[in-house]
Amino acid sequence: LNLLKGGVSHVSVVGRRGHVQGAFTIKELRELTKLKKEGHNVSFVVRKEELDMGMTDASIEELKGPGGRPKSRIDKLLQDNALEDAPPKDAEKSVEIRFLLNPTQFAPHESDLSKVGHVLCERTRLEGDPGQQRPVGTGETEELPADLVLVSIGYRGMPLQGMDELDFFDSKSSTVVNDHG
């Protein structure tokens, strides 16, 4: 992660739903868990409490249902790496994945109102049937300190004008056609 080699010391990835509903792969998560072991001096943080909160009856059914094997492997990897308590504040660099938090407001920095200072998030809980759970706000809030915020909603790429006609876009995978992945 070149981003963490410079001045960035902490990266938080925030999701409104639980880990079972996440759109990441086991390979992506496994790479994050290896950052410290491979000499990058970066801790991977996931909170056991948030994993437990996301394990609704419907989430358990999702793990047991068709296509549940990859999600079960992800669940095991995250459970094996989860922290019982809040992460240590003295960690030099870290990547933290947060679940069941909905960013609701970007607040300015105290000393420079033109810069972001923190993100206000509302805790969510999951409701609904397996495969159709949705996050519902609980009213509980948490402030996450921030110097930079990148918003990513969804995970499907869209072709730029002309890409379809030139066969530059793979609509099945929602990616730009490429040779090296």
pLDDT digits (tens, 9 = 90+) for 74-104: 999 999 999 877 666 656 788 999 999 999 9
Strands 134-145, 116-127: pairing is: antiparallel
Would you say residue 146 has pLDDT above 70? yes
Q: Residue 66, SS3?
A: coil
135-148 per-residue burial string, b: 16 or more CB within 10 A, e: under 16: beeeeeeeebebee
* Sequence-separated (6 or more) residues with CB below 8 Å from residue 92: 9, 41
pLDDT digits (tens, 9 = 90+) for 96-126: 999 999 999 999 999 999 899 999 999 999 9
**pLDDT of 68:** 92
Rg (CA), the chain: 18
Asked which of 32-41, 91-100, 129-138, 142-151 is least confident by mean pLDDT, the reply is: 32-41
AA identity, residue 130: P
pLDDT digits (tens, 9 = 90+) for 162-178: 777 788 788 777 778 87
Q: What share of the chain has pLDDT > 90, as a percent?
A: 59
* Residue among 13, 5, 52 at smallest CA distance from 150: 13
**pLDDT of 165:** 77
pLDDT digits (tens, 9 = 90+) for 2-58: 655 667 888 999 999 999 999 889 999 999 999 888 877 888 999 999 999 999 999
**pLDDT of 95:** 92
Q: Cα-flanking dihedrals φ and ψ of residue 29, to 5°? A: -70, -40
Is the CB of residue 101 less than 8 Å from the CB of residue 142? yes
* Sequence-separated (6 or more) residues with CB below 8 Å from residue 69: none
